[in-house]
Structure 1
Amino acid sequence: MTKKHPLTLDQAEIGAIAAGTHGNPFAILGPHHGPDGWSLRVFAPEAARVWAIGPAGEVELPRLHAEGFFCAPLSDALAASYRLRLEVGGRMMEREDTYRFPSLLGDLDIHLLVEGRHLRTFEKLGAHLQVVDGIAGVHFAVWAPNAKRASVVGDFNGWDGRRHVMRLRHDAGVWELFIPGLGNGTHYKYELIGPHGNLLPLKADPYGHYAEVPPRTASVVADLDERDWADGAWMKAQAKRNDRHAPISIYEVHLGSWMRVPEDGNRMLTYGELADKLTAYVQDMGFTHVEFLPVHEHPFSGSWGYQPVGLFAPTSRHGTPEDFRLLVERLHQAGIGVIIDWVAGHFPRDAHGLHHFDGTHLYEHEDPRLGLHKDWDTHIYNYGRTEVCNFLYSNALYWMEQYHVDGLRVDAVASMLYLDYSRNHGEWLPNRHGGNENLEAIDFLRQMNEVVYAEHPGAMTIAEESTAWPGVSRPTWTGGLGFGFKWNMGWMHDTLNYFSKDPIHRRFHHDSLTFGLLYAFTENFVLPLSHDEVVHGKGSILGRMPGDDWQRFANLRAYYAFMWTHPGKKLLFMGQEFGQQREWNCEASLDWDSLQNGLHLGAQRLVRDLNRLYRVEPALHQLDHDPAGFQWVDCNDRDNSVLSFLRRGFDGDDFCLVVCNLTPVVRYDYRIGVPLGGRYREVLNTDSHWYGGSDINNGDGVWAEDEPWHDQPLSVAVTLPPLSTLVFKRA
């Protein structure tokens, strides 16, 4: 028969509390009313003595267990209002009793969490500053349905998992605890006992808003209450700025290596410094948006953020969450949109992350044929689990609502869509129909896009999808995936391949430039020259160009102008705008010193002017995704490696004529058909001396002649500089 102490508490229960194995501490600790009145039970292993004190007096609690379990009867008045006084190391201290506070998660919250319909789980799960009964503290909540016990640990309790064991809300599998006295900046983790009684590695908070600077891994309490944003003008115009008819020219940035401070140990810039320097630079260069490589907290810098552990935390490498908000705000004030790369396809196996979170495969599939990403040795999310999908939906909204982010570029979508992605025969499981499509991931992506656009109609989602999957950027109600835009990986591979060829051989690869127009309007495409093209031995974009230095830069300039005049939105990775020579290194700053060289400076000037021209000429952006916005004049002159085409906007008579001469041969009196008469003047010439070219040009312009050509009623005879792209406007 189990021995009981005078207040009828089992010694086994006391032992479980002292050992930290009790899964329901609220049944034992705190004030409890029984047949003999009130009693108070406190577990304080750090204390030599414990008292309950209040307006009604005080009472000392006798120690009932050597590890620090104290218990005493209380009067009704003292039970109604008390604090704890503890003698610790010969000193007296006072604190509130965690176990006198009620559950703070409402029944509706629990119901929505169970159903997977709580779109803002970040408002309930994680760590939140709260005031309960006039007492300030932090409310913690974590989803760990298979854990036998969950505790909050941190500096405040000596990282002792016995001292702040949480309350389990069984229906949702969520553990919660309000700890009075904690505040902003508190370091914490969760200590979990798995379903087999094993103590798991300490876990960072999946919903943590902030984290220690890596390699340290604790979560940090951060206040993300309402702030007085100063970007109202941008937010009102967001839908117009992100629309598919708008000019969208994206500067892709890795925050850690855009610019460093060599005189201060080569350190990275802070968010505040980036708010000044990056904003000014992007505004000067004329890009309409920036896209940040993932800003989520990640343990390994070499992953560039693509193996995130803290999906709700902007990396602390550059400052606090509020500092990141300031960066977004400053960019918006300068008229620049903010896109972040969003990693919803996989997560790393770091012990403090989502891996085997509660001792089971909670976020990932148990079967490695479904749950292990071979390319990156990471886990794949289990999209068939409503709680996991809700975690990700909520995260998408979180960045838009808490940080005013304008869009998400979803990484590695192809790896999500296909069950056999990068897998050999026998290494994957077919879907219920026997196919290789990941039906659960498809449903997830569609639902994610529906949620984002329903809640934030002015936002944008962009898919990095490298296959021929149909309808990626088409509405879900038509069977599409619902993205706003899709990266055009085929265009990128074909055109880079073409421009890497010696001009003497280009006539044999002419189709590489023209093929993309056969499918250019099947999706809302973004033309990307991204970070993936300047790493892993690929060198730089400039490094792909053939010839001597002059020819390489001339090729680069002609390529960029072809890209900016081609249908599709634009994306360029940092450093390529001034023709960085070396391959990107995430541990070093861009080679800003190279701008002392006139050819690098010329490339930068060209990109600045291309962005200006793209913005001010409706014909170059309004119908980026509509075949009415493009017309070949001549795509067949492969022998001379010359291309010519028209770009039109809503006003079809307001057009731009684009001509590319992609050999080093100057071509005089080259005749090109045009639809209307008048004078055609150059509005851009990549061979200008301003850009480092030979300055061969067409002077004040050329007049249309009454000579039909290229199935057009009129024509112009122009001079084509070497390795150049020209843009003409009819005066």
Structure 2
Amino acid sequence: MQIETQLKNAQCTFPFTHLGLTHTKNAFSITAWIPNATAVKVIDLATEKAIGTLKKQAASDLFSAEFTKGKLPAVYAFEVKNPQGAYRIIDPYQFQDQAFHAVHFVDHLPKNVYQQLGAQLMDLDVGLAKSISATRFAVFAPNASAVSIIGDFNYWDGSCLPMQKTDFGYWVLVVPGVNAGDKYKYQIKDAAGNELPHKADPIGFYADQYPSHASVVFDHEQYQWQDSKWQEQVKGDKYTQAMSIYEVHLGSWKRPSAESDARYLSYRELVDELIPYVTDMGYTHIELLPISEFPFDGSWGYQPVGLFAPTSRFGSPDDFKYFVDQCHQNGIGVIIDWVPAHFPEDGHGLARFDGTHVYEYEDPRKGWHPDWNSCIYDFGKDTVRQFLVANALFWLDKYHIDGLRVDAVASMLYLDYSREDGDWIPNVDGGNHNYEAISLLQWMNKEVYSHYPNAMTIAEESTSFAKVSRPVFEGGLGFGFKWNMGWMHDSLHYISKDPSYRRYHHGEITFSMVYAFDESFVLPISHDEVVHGKGSLLHKMPGDEWQQAANLRCYAAFMYAHPGKKLNFMGNEIGQAAEWNHDSSINWHLLEFEKHSGIQALYRDLNKLYADYPALHELDHDHTGFEWIDHENAEQSTVAMLRQSKAGKQQIYAVSNFTPVPRSTFRLGVKALGEYTVLLNTDDKQYWGSGNSLNAKMLADKTPWQNQTYSIELSLPPLATVFILYKGK
């Protein structure tokens, strides 16, 4: 096929071979493809002097000329005339060296993926201390026959800017005059020359919303961070620090007040609304449901197509940086949900990116997820592994994110996850572990903790896979923390039972302590527990209106007493009655009622108590910080535990009564003689409790009880958890 036909049909694989500038010792030549042009003059941009004119090649749109005299220009432009008028363009095909630079080091370090590929803004030296702005594009499409850049700057015409294919399967081109804010996509033709749906940039930093889903050129160097104080503050051992996480879906936490205004709050509006609320409530961290760009609102972000772009639903990338920055300046850490387990089939996304399975496993028994009807990354392919690890580092680097909660880890670890016999492929040893995914997660964790030692990774892993939160050098996956899904399911199943039946399920509320220190756990009551017909946390509770609220308060305090960091989904803290709906706001109007404002006050006080008393958080992941005082009283459905700080310097007893029966002479075994005082009682009237009388102070006596040498007597309220501090002798 002649070069002109290739260019006209957007089928040119190696445009640098035919276009641009070539030179010998004594001469240089320039060839350009400029449809509809009638005259083309070459201008030296440094001096603004004409070098000469290009001649039209017969009846084609190719123009060329050889220049045997004059100095080779550093950068040249074309002054073009056509029947519609005149314009100036800078020839992108003269920047071959700069274009190829995009792939020189891309495979050396994971960070190079987002520092080299995608749309990278740059300045080009034109001589005489002058420069011009340009954007260097690079995209991986190894099996494509042709790739072009299309955008607002060329009327989305795929014949204008064909890219050059490199030996490693990357396509490159430097385009002068393309600036931050310009929209673009890639027009890709498969190996047979068939045009695919226009693709957004896999490394795109900013994305337009429906219907275009275009990528947007973005400058990451403009935002000036102001969180240096926070970066010093977060140094230290996170296992010994209080961590109470508020899980948030930004689109439905709160909507604008006007009833007719159905839009979302922006990142900057959330700074004014969400941050003061979280600060007032005493949470230490916000965890955001996936923030990476996604096409379908109803996926809540768990079907991402733009892993390197914060969703533009709520504003620009700099707006999101401002949100994170302001969180840090107000002492709040930011964790994001990160989804390396799967991605959707949307035409503008990664699926069959160049007509072949560039990012996903080719065999559907490995590459298709039956639960979510989505593609699974090929965890064994080097380019995919680099892409995912680079993305994890990207959020910590460019957005100062404090932690990554990795979604659906179990689905990555097991080849037979949600698959019937015959629908999955065993590993080389005949087993069901995906060795490729395991090694990827280990690599990701090593890179994160190597480059960002103050960050953390958290696994949502629902099985008993060993050493999820243990270092890679110990044979673990390398995560910092793991969600305790077993505790969540067992305790919710228990608390949903009528109190009269709880005696038969007592083991469900105590069993978690059998394995509580096998991993570094976070106790989650997440969004998954209050959606899809599961009901709100409040409505999981049995009994009448008062008992439901009392059960919730008792359970929430039990959670804060139990070893492990804490996570609660938005709405739990106000006792929201309705199941979560991503299309509407939390029911904030409920706070007009004492029941809900009382529940909110309890969560606020629990966060403060948890943070203020080292006994409740310092040894969350060390068995020396916990002791059962009584876990066998199934008949009365009570449990009592001791939480203590290092070397037992501070001791707090937590007692939970999971029945509506008050225990007026309840005896609790304690370690020492002296004074004991009530720190918090979930039955207090300020929390909409019954206000059942309870001595604020108690003295231990020498009555042995519950395998302890001493004991105290208290009036244990109904459906309540009480925290008691040992004050000393």
TM class, shorter-length: over 0.9
1:154 and 2:151 matched: yes
Q: For residues 516 and 361 of structure 1, what CA distance do their matches in structure 2 show?
A: 42
Matched residue, 1:529: 525
Q: For residues 379 and 76 of structure 1, what CA distance do their matches in structure 2 show?
A: 58
1:38 and 2:32 matched: no
Deviations 1:401-431 (A, max 9, x none): 1000000000000000000000001100000
Summarize the alignment of residues 149-188 of structure 1 with structure 2, pairs less than 5 Å apart.
149-170=146-167, 172-188=168-184
Matched residue, 2:282: 286
Tell me the SS of whatever aligns to 1:492: helix
Summarize the alignment of residues 596-635 of structure 1 with structure 2, pairs less than 5 Å apart.
596-635=592-631
Matched residue, 2:256: 261
Structure 1 residues not aligned, in runs of 5+: 1-10
Q: For residues 641 and 49 of structure 2, what CA distance do their matches in structure 1 show?
A: 89
Matched residue, 2:717: 721
Match of 1:68 among 49, 61, 71: 61
Q: Check 1:349–1:92 CA distance in 2 against 1; reply closer, same or farther (3 A cut).
A: same
Give 1:65 shift.
6.4
Letter in 2 for 1:420: D
Q: Is the 8 A contact 1:214 1:317 kept in 2?
A: no
Letter in 1 for 2:596: H
Q: Is the 8 A contact 2:4 2:60 kept in 1?
A: no
Tell me which moved more, 278-287 or 94-103. Answer: 94-103
Matched residue, 1:100: 94
1:273 and 2:235 matched: no
Letter in 2 for 1:259: K
Summarize the alignment of residues 374-453 of structure 1 with structure 2, pairs less than 5 Å apart.
374-453=370-449
Q: Is the 8 A contact 1:272 1:326 kept in 2?
A: yes
Q: For residues 609 and 478 of structure 1, what CA distance do their matches in structure 2 show?
A: 39
Deviations 1:658-678 (A, max 9, x none): 010111111111111100111
Q: Is the 8 A contact 1:211 1:297 kept in 2?
A: yes
Q: For residues 160 and 379 of structure 2, what CA distance do their matches in structure 1 show?
A: 35
Give 1:193 shift.
1.5
Matched residue, 1:122: 114
Q: For residues 444 and 268 of structure 2, what CA distance do their matches in structure 1 show?
A: 31
Give 1:19 shift.
2.3
Q: Check 1:710–1:149 CA distance in 2 against 1; reply closer, same or farther (3 A cut).
A: same
Q: Is the 8 A contact 2:615 2:650 kept in 1?
A: yes
Q: For residues 222 and 646 of structure 2, what CA distance do their matches in structure 1 show?
A: 41
Tell me which moved more, 229-238 or 595-604. Answer: 229-238
Matched residue, 2:43: 53
Tell me the SS of whatever aligns to 2:234: helix
Q: Is the 8 A contact 1:251 1:290 kept in 2?
A: yes
Letter in 1 for 2:14: N
Matched residue, 2:209: 213
Q: For residues 625 and 455 of structure 2, what CA distance do their matches in structure 1 show?
A: 24
Q: For residues 29 and 110 of structure 1, what CA distance do their matches in structure 2 show?
A: 20
Give 1:238 shift.
1.7
Summarize the alignment of residues 328-727 of structure 1 with structure 2, pairs less than 5 Å apart.
328-727=324-723
Deviations 1:245-300 (A, max 9, x none): 11000000001110111425211000001111111110000000010000000000
Give 1:13 shift.
2.0
Q: Is the 8 A contact 2:189 2:354 kept in 1?
A: yes
Q: For residues 287 and 197 of structure 1, what CA distance do their matches in structure 2 show?
A: 55
Q: Is the 8 A contact 1:685 1:724 kept in 2?
A: yes
TM-score normalised according to structure 2 size: 0.96
Give 1:101 shift.
1.3
Give 1:319 shift.
0.4
Tell me which moved more, 60-69 or 594-603. Answer: 60-69
Letter in 2 for 1:17: L
Q: Check 1:358–1:260 CA distance in 2 against 1; reply closer, same or farther (3 A cut).
A: same
Summarize the alignment of residues 224-235 of structure 1 with structure 2, pairs less than 5 Å apart.
224-225=220-221, 227-235=223-231
Give 1:120 shift.
3.1
TM-score normalised according to structure 1 size: 0.96
RMSD: 1.7
| Paired residue total | 717
Structure 2 residues not aligned, in runs of 5+: 126-130
Deviations 1:562-616 (A, max 9, x none): 0011000000000111011111111111111111011110110000000000001
Q: Check 1:455–1:372 CA distance in 2 against 1; reply closer, same or farther (3 A cut).
A: same
Tell me which moved more, 504-513 or 87-96. Answer: 87-96
Matched residue, 1:251: 246
Q: For residues 35 and 703 of structure 1, what CA distance do their matches in structure 2 show?
A: 99
Q: For residues 543 and 85 of structure 1, what CA distance do their matches in structure 2 show?
A: 72
Letter in 1 for 2:76: Y
Letter in 2 for 1:73: E
Matched residue, 1:4: none
Q: For residues 267 and 491 of structure 1, what CA distance do their matches in structure 2 show?
A: 37
Deviations 1:221-259 (A, max 9, x none): 01001643111111112233x611110000000011101
Q: For residues 121 and 431 of structure 1, what CA distance do their matches in structure 2 show?
A: 29
Q: Is the 8 A contact 2:310 2:317 kept in 1?
A: yes
Give 1:56 shift.
4.4
Q: Check 1:24–1:694 CA distance in 2 against 1; reply closer, same or farther (3 A cut).
A: same
Q: For residues 382 and 64 of structure 2, what CA distance do their matches in structure 1 show?
A: 43
Tell me the SS of whatever aligns to 2:580: coil
Match of 1:140 among 125, 137, 140: 137
Matched residue, 1:27: 17
Give 1:60 shift.
3.9
Q: Is the 8 A contact 1:18 1:43 kept in 2?
A: no
Matched residue, 2:128: none
Tell me the SS of whatever aligns to 1:176: strand
Matched residue, 1:13: 3
Deviations 1:99-147 (A, max 9, x none): 111332667x746534x64433100001111001222111111111111
Q: For residues 60 and 233 of structure 2, what CA distance do their matches in structure 1 show?
A: 62
Q: For residues 662 and 570 of structure 1, what CA distance do their matches in structure 2 show?
A: 21
Give 1:467 shift.
0.3
Q: Is the 8 A contact 1:103 1:177 kept in 2?
A: no
Give 1:41 shift.
1.7
Q: Check 1:12–1:692 CA distance in 2 against 1; reply closer, same or farther (3 A cut).
A: same
Q: Check 1:32–1:511 CA distance in 2 against 1; reply closer, same or farther (3 A cut).
A: same
Q: For residues 21 and 724 of structure 2, what CA distance do their matches in structure 1 show?
A: 82
Matched residue, 2:192: 196
Tell me which moved more, 599-608 or 697-706. Answer: 697-706
Give 1:444 shift.
0.5
Letter in 2 for 1:132: L
Q: Check 1:648–1:89 CA distance in 2 against 1; reply closer, same or farther (3 A cut).
A: farther
Letter in 1 for 2:111: L
Tell me the SS of whatever aligns to 1:636: coil
